[in-house]
Amino acid sequence: MKKILEAISEEMKKAFAGAGYEEELGKVTLSNRPDLCEYQCNGAMAGAKKYHKAPIMIANEVAEQLKESKVFSRVEAVAPGFLNLKLSDDFLCGYLKEMEAGEKFGMEMPAEEKTIIVDYGGPNVAKPLHVGHLRSAVIGESVKRIARFAGYKVIGDIHLGDWGLQMGLIITELQERKPELPYFDESYTGDYPQEAPFTIAELEEIYPTASGKSKEDPSYKEKAMENTFKLQNGVRGHRALWDHIIRVSVADMKKNYEKLNVEFDLWNGESTVQYLLPEMVEAMKKGGYAYESDGALVVDVKEETDSKEIPPCIILKSDGAALYSTTDLATISERVTKYDPDIMIYITDKRQSMHFEQVFRCARKTKLVGEDVKLIHIGFGTVNGKDGKPFKTRDGGVPRLEKLISDIDEEMLRKIMESRHDMPEEEAKEIADIVGLAAIKYGDLSNQAAKDYSFDVDRFTSFEGDTGPYILYTIVRIKSILAKYQEQGGSLDKVQLAPAISPDEKALMMEIAKFNTMMEAAFTECAPHKVCAYIYDLANAFNRFYHETRIIAEEDETKKAGLIALLVLTKDVLETCIDLLGFSAPDRM
């Protein structure tokens, strides 16, 4: 179905054409003076010069055409030539009925199925997830859900950092601590143990220890590089240890991502595309794209139109080692071959924007990807503390994601127990986890991705203002009213939307009507913050309506049924939107 502004503009275009003017002048926008009108059209002002006529004359002629309009209840020509518009209550009600009856509230689906790959997550194995991993996971999950809702086939990939020197460092430290393990006996031919020779806690302590040693002891680093070489060249014991590292790390990651309600379709990493590197590098050389510069192999990616310096994309270092850019290019190549995507979206820290600019240009120049495939990088800002500086623990370290989640959940539990003394603690804890997740995700997603923001536990967990708990509280309030209506014998299946009977009811209906416009913008701009802004406005409109309207106490059963139908639609839209953001609402709070 058409978006609300398209439907209104269509009526206005007919009026301009009927008055003898170009129909494109009939574009309608939301009013910037809501105290005067709901929508406005400035086409008469734009047409004055072309038709050599005073804009107020054109506006009056168009207004005359709309006297019998079923779309507008009032059309007013105002000097010097504005058209002020007020929607008909019947038209608005009809539009919402069409939304209610349509799949996905009438959102238009793409003409042909297209595939999108969303690359988000990007953690290194053997390291705990920390606050820096929050944004890629939360934004990526929402972008994925929004694209699926918009009718696209979407594949989410975590893209693990699971190759390179960090693996060699871990293996080296294990070798020093447990030299008796069969993985280090090159003459060993038996089966290796099924159980890993370390726990996740040990593994997370091993890496920083090994990293510290390698910076101070050149021989230790040399040994780590040797072990990295052995791993990458398929030495049996090293590969078996690597399998253990991946398995233990991924199991722990999955638990943490599950707490964030984040899921990946693919658990691939840098290691996945290692088989492609030799052939890809050779093709770049043969194609005349790659050349040696100071011993390294590079591809020039600068363009004549560049206003800033874009350095060459390094494919291999002078020692022949691959880099992130090499594996990212190979990953693009593999994705094109396996999935034939129309769009690839990468979600990382905005400080990597130059890296992706180089990689995307290199991928196109070397024909790894066609010109028709969109490559998009969404660079996000940092998570800061209340002081505006990067978020740190009290001892100056980077907070673990697990701890961040538990801190929010504990604060939510405290607030719920304070306000609901009658609620069993076990139920309060379940609700605190649900509301805590909303607090974290909404607190992050309500900010434009590129902006830094402050992680403020007090503000995020507040039940007032632009917060996740406020949105959930609104949904729970609606659920409570609907439950009361059913307890009194009402059936939600039999209620029908009716034209608004008050300004507050109409304002709520108009907010609902903006859904499709918002969703299109949220998808095309990869912008979950637009969903947040929309549901905050919708929640505010509902709460104003609730405070000014007798709903359950309404004595006229027909009117009551119309109000209840509006509540059902409001709840459905709000719940759809929070699902797109990656959280849900409890039945009570």
In the prediction, which pLDDT does 395 show?
67
Q: Is the pLDDT of residue 397 over 90?
A: no
Question: If you average pLDDT over residues 158-184, what whole number do you get?
Answer: 95
**H or E stretch covering 149:** helix 134-149
Which among 549, 476, 479 is positioned nearest to 508, based on CA atoms? 549
Mean pLDDT, the chain, whole residue set: 95
pLDDT at 394: 67
Instruction: pLDDT band for 537, please (50, 70, 90 cuts).
Output: very high
What is the tens place of the pLDDT at every residue in 434-459? Answer: 999 999 999 999 999 999 999 999 99
Q: How far apart are CA 574 and CA 195, in angstroms?
A: 46
Mean pLDDT of 355-379: 97
Does the pLDDT at position 401 exceed 80? Answer: yes
Q: How far, rounded to the nearest angstrom, does the alpha carbon of residue 365 sit from its chain's CA centroid?
A: 29
Per-residue pLDDT reduced to its tens digit, 465-494: 999 999 999 999 999 999 999 999 999 999
**CATH of the structural domain 4-87, one choice from 3.30.1540.10, 3.30.1360.70, 3.40.50.850, 3.40.50.720:** 3.30.1360.70
Residue 10 pLDDT > 90: yes
Write down the pLDDT at residue 177. 96
| C-alpha to C-alpha distance for 496 and 429, rounded to whole angstroms | 37
Q: Check pLDDT > 90 for residue 392.
A: no
Alpha helices in 233-265 (DSSP H): 236-259
**Helices (H), ranges, 366-499:** 401-419, 425-445, 457-460, 468-487
Q: Specify whether the CB–CB gap between 468 and 438 falls below 8 A.
A: yes
Give the span between the Cα atoms of 21 and 42, in whole angstroms: 13
Closest-CA residue to 77 (of 48, 40, 26): 40
- pLDDT at position 396: 66
The mean per-residue pLDDT over the stretch 265-294 comes to 96
- 113-152, pLDDT tens digit by residue? 999 999 999 999 998 898 889 999 999 999 999 999 999 9
The residue-averaged pLDDT of 217-232 equals 95
What's the rounded Cα separation, in Å, for the pair 13 and 32?
20
Cα–Cα distance for residue pair 81/16, rounded to 1 Å: 13
For residues 67-71, average pLDDT? 96
Average pLDDT over residues 393-397: 69
Is residue 116 a contact partner of residue 154, using CB atoms and an 8 Å limit? yes
Distance from C-alpha of 391 to C-alpha of 381, rounded to nearest angstrom? 12
Residue 389 identity (one-letter amino acid): K
Cα separation, 178 vs 184, in Å, equals 9
- How many helices, marked H, and strands, marked E, lie in the chain? 20, 13
Query: How far apart are alpha carbons 571 and 564 in whole angstroms?
Result: 11
pLDDT at 203 over 90: yes
Q: Cα separation of 504 and 548, whole Å?
A: 7
570-585: pLDDT as tens digits: 999 999 999 999 999 9
Instruction: State what percent of residues in the chain have pLDDT above 90.
Output: 93
pLDDT digits (tens, 9 = 90+) for 211-222: 999 999 999 999
Confidence grade of residue 527 (pLDDT, cut at 50, 70, 90): very high
Query: Cβ(81)–Cβ(59) under 8 Å?
Result: yes
DSSP state of 322: B
User: 10 Å Cβ neighbour count for 484?
Assistant: 13
- Angstrom distance (rounded) from CA 1 to CA 123: 41
Instruction: Report the pLDDT averaged over residues 398-427.
Output: 91
* Beta pairing partners, 117: 155, 344
Q: Domain coordinates of the chain in residue numbers?
A: 4-87, 165-259
Strand partners, 345: 118, 376
Q: Residue 419's CB: how many other CB atoms inside 10 A?
A: 11
- Report helix, strand or coil for 69: coil
* pLDDT over threshold 90, residue 319: no
DSSP lists the bridge partners of residue 86 as: 74
CA 567/CA 481 separation, integer angstroms: 9
Calculate mean pLDDT across residues 336-363.
Answer: 98
The stretches of 266-424 forming alpha helices (DSSP H) are 277-286, 324-339, 353-365, 401-419
